Amino acid sequence: MFKRGTPLLLLLTLVVCTTCATTPVEEEAPPAPTLPPGPSPTAEGLTYYVRTDGGSPERCTGLADAPDPGSGFGQPCAWDHPFRALPPGGPPRIASGDTLVIGPGSYMMGLGAPGADNPDFCDPGYAWACTMPPVPSGLDATHPTRILGAGWDAGCPDPPELWGTERADLVLNLTDASYVEVGCLEVTDHSDCVEDHTGGLACERDHSPFGPWAAVGLHAEDSANVYLHHLNIHGLASIGVHAGRLTDWTVEDVRIAANGSVGWDGDLWDDFGDANSGTLTFRRWTVEWNGCGETYPGGQPTGCWAQTAGGYGDGVGTGETGGDWIIEDSAFLHNTSDGLDLLYHTLGGVVVLDRVYAEGNAGNQVKVAGQLTVSNSVLVGNCGFFDGQPFTYNVDPCRALGNTLEVAYTGGEQVSIVNSTFYGQGDGLVGAGPREGFACDGSETLTGWNNVFLGDRDYFDPDDVTFLFYQEGCGDLFFAGDYSIAFSVKNTEPPYADPPYPSAHNRLADPRLVEPHAGSAIGMSLAVGSPAIDAGDNATCPAVDYGGLARPVDGDGDGVAVCDMGAFEWRPASARLYLPMVLAHGGSVHGVEAHGRAPLHGGS
């Protein structure tokens, strides 16, 4: 995983500028202000409201969901901006265990916004410091502090937009914040610039005014027991979510898209480590188009770049971390480097991927160190996706050889792949070896049951084909398993795979997958007459398939329900595709098709 060398300037790196409109900014820290104490928490917690037609704290108490009446003081009406509750420089006007409900509309977050009047933090010369303070921690698990968009309890039909401006370091701040819920918000900026871009989209960093952009959507560190839900974090100049040293987080129905450097970055760039712990649960999590700018307005990818051009591009990346990562019903799509990069997951814990879809990422679709279980997942390694696309500036196709799944052992782990469908045009489908700095001890295993493996021409050598499995540095490790089908691949016999393909239950044949295998309309399910139908092992078959439909069913009409190979259980007249949250944004995956070489296989 690439590590950016220049850290994001957060609140501790403020500067003073006396001629900021015309001269370069000189980054020196201003004197720390003396802050009055915030409100005291109450056991029940209070509910405050923000509306675009609300008023100032002098006019309105914030305790009523009502507009500013236009006169008086201390009126029962809403505040007019989230900064009224969480003013730059503090202290918060909400306390531990309180709820802030933000009404529909658009709220500029940064210099010039209502409530951005603390000169120690909101000065044009160091405008990046003009951000909200950390959200106060809740009292306990049953009394969290909540920051919610109106409609959070009704499906979030019209989330309010919080958009960063004037080079704001961040929009939402969860530093040292625990027992917090954040939901039903759109977090973005109003610029298509990308921080430090080398292809003409670079943001203004040196002179004020800096423009309507922000670096990070949500920042969190040393944070536990947080619930994020129904968030759309997109179009930031650098990072969607910058979060490390987390414990027991739950993330549901969150989209992280088209952030200029990386989607979710777990490397905090400080001297205190990045390690997460406990259980980190992600459901219906879509991470796409990171490493690309996003046009404003329009919301389309632009200037996509990766590491050879000075960018980054992972959908998800971390520093050295532990913890149990449970990822369900989630998608990692069209990021300019790896889709899901957990190669630094070396400090203990397990990774579980269930009903995960990864496609069109320019590096590895999924990369994991440590104990791993993959089930009901579709990994489409069309790593040359960005070739020749109009939104591509400079992307490294099939980076790290473009292996669809890369497994790194730290010593003694077991890796299992069950009822999943893999395709790849990189060097291989499953690659393995010891993590750098670690060694295999001989007890490692890699097993697979009921899978579909489809290769293609090797992107780097069109005269060769993708391998099924290859490893270096782990002794006699081989890919063990049964009841699977492989086609257009090499390394299908010992010492790579045992039992080999073909054998009693393993098949070496065209699985006949529905095409196309990449782009905006994905196939990958079984076509009529596929030899993978009713060819699996019921003893290892999950109870549901990728789309959440029950397994097994009788697919060949012989009166016996037998599990199919692969992620999809075939059904007569079944035409369905589960793309979690992707189609909810604009109706398509930006309406693009994959570019690449003609496949070796047929399948229709």
Residue 86 in domain: yes
- Dihedral (C-alpha) 19, 23, 27, 30: value to the nearest 10 degrees? 0
CA dist., res. 83 & res. 149, Å (int): 15
Residues 395 and 451 in one domain: yes
Name the residue with tokens 């029962």. Answer: 76
- Is the C-alpha dihedral spanning 89, 91, 92, 96 positive or negative? positive
Closest among 403, 377, 548, 564 to 484, alpha carbons compared: 564
Supply the pLDDT for residue 39. 61
Q: Cβ neighbours of residue 378 under 8 Å, at least 6 residues apart?
A: 356, 357, 358, 359, 420, 421, 522, 524, 546, 567
Are residues 338 and 459 located together in one domain of the fold? yes
DSSP state for residue 349 in the 8-state scheme: -
Residue 170 resides in a domain: no
Domain that holds residue 231: 188-524+555-604
Q: 466: closest CA among 478, 454, 477?
A: 454
> Could you say which of 143, 161, 179 is where a domain stops?
161
Domain check: are 129 and 201 in the same one? no
The CA-based angle 69-65-165, given to 5 degrees, is: 90
182 is a domain residue: no
Kindly provide the b/e burial profile for residues 534-545, where b requires at least 16 CB atoms within 10 angstroms of the residue's own CB. Answer: bbbbeebbbebb
CA distance 473 to 496: 13
User: Which pLDDT value is given to residue 31?
Assistant: 41
pLDDT of residue 41: 61
Residue 330 CA to residue 283 CA, distance in Å, equals 6
Q: Are residues 194 and 242 in the same domain?
A: yes
Looking at the structure, do residues 240 and 360 belong to the same domain, yes or no?
yes
Instruction: Give the span between the Cα atoms of 45 and 111, in whole angstroms.
Output: 30
| Tally of domains in the chain | 2
- The CA-CA-CA angle for residues 568, 573, 575, to 5°, reads 55
Whether residue 516 contacts residue 497, with contact meaning beta carbons closer than 8 Å, is answered with no
| Integer Cα distance of 453 and 467 in angstroms | 10
User: Up-side HSE of residue 9: CA atoms within 13 Å toward CB?
Assistant: 18
d(CA 338, CA 496): 25
Name residue, tokens 């056991």.
43
pLDDT score for 336: 98
Report yes or no on 415 lying in a domain: yes
- Between CA 575 and CA 410 the distance in angstroms is 41
Phi then psi for residue 79, to 5 deg, are -80, 165
Q: Is residue 441 located within the same domain as residue 570? A: yes
**Inter-residue contact 2 to 14 (CB < 8 Å):** no
Query: Do 96 and 208 share a domain, yes or no?
Result: no
Residue 67 included in any domain:
yes
Assess whether 228 and 354 both reside in one domain: yes
pLDDT of 19: 34
244-276: b or e for each residue (b if 16 or more CB lie within 10 Å)? bbbbbbbbbbbbbbbbbbbbbbbbbbeeeebbb
Q: Do 589 and 512 share a domain, yes or no?
A: yes
Instruction: Give this prediction's pTM.
Output: 0.90
> Is 200 within 8 Å of 309 (Cβ atoms)?
no
What CA–CA distance (Å, rounded) separates 568 from 548? 9
C-alpha–C-alpha distance, residues 71 and 349, integer Å: 58
pLDDT above 90: percentage of residues in the chain: 85
340 and 385 assigned to the same domain = yes
- Identify which of 257, 128, 260, 124 has the alpha carbon closest to the alpha carbon of residue 200: 260
Q: What is the pLDDT of residue 334?
A: 97
Q: Which residues of the chain have pLDDT under 70?
A: 1-43, 517-522, 573-604
Is 29 part of a structural domain of the chain?
no
Residue 264: strand pairing partners = 241, 316
Query: Does residue 529 form part of some domain?
Result: no
Q: Is the peptide bond before 552 cis (omega within 30 degrees of 0)?
A: yes
> Is 489 among the domain residues?
yes
Based on the domain organization, do 263 and 314 belong to the same domain? yes
Confidence at residue 20, expressed as pLDDT on a 0 to 100 scale: 33
**126 backbone dihedrals φ, ψ, rounded to 5°:** -135, 55
Claim to verify: residue 581 and residue 520 sit in the same structural domain: yes
DSSP 543: S
For CA atoms 288, 292, 294, 300, the dihedral sign is negative
